Amino acid sequence: MTVKADALNNIINEHREIFVSILANPLLPEIIKGKYKSVKKFSKRIIATMLINHCQNAYSLYEKNIINHDEFYGMQKDIINLFSWPIIKKRWPKIKSYYPDKFQNLINSLIYNQSMDSDQSSERLV
């Protein structure tokens, strides 16, 4: 991997470790939930954000030619599935502005404009 890809991977891994640590400690979500009224809602937001970050990391690695077209094409199908989950559907509109425009455009293309499972669509988006 390149230095940039390694750095990005490290950042995402550190975020994931922080999120998992928060979820694993029963006291932390209660302490840091802030404006959220329930720990369950707060925990769902953490999980959804962590999953979206994973997708963005995969896309970034694809952009840096570390993941090839065929590998990322398969990941696109996983992304479509993931973004059909209720917690992701609810979280994405609230945090999409935190992500690079290219990633937002990919998600919009995959989720809102394209169904990779349809018979008419077998072309790759990237």
* Predicted confidence band of residue 106 (pLDDT cuts 50, 70, 90): very high
Higher pLDDT, 10 or 81: 81
pLDDT in the model for residue 122: 38
In order, the DSSP letters of 12-71 are: HHHHHHHHHHHHHSTHHHHHH-TT-S-HHHHHHHHHHHHHHHHHHHHHHHHHTTSS-HHH
Average pLDDT over every residue of 95-107: 96
User: pLDDT per residue over 39-92, tens digit each?
Assistant: 778 788 888 998 999 899 899 989 988 888 988 998 999 999 999 999 999 999
Is the confidence at residue 25, as pLDDT, over 60? yes
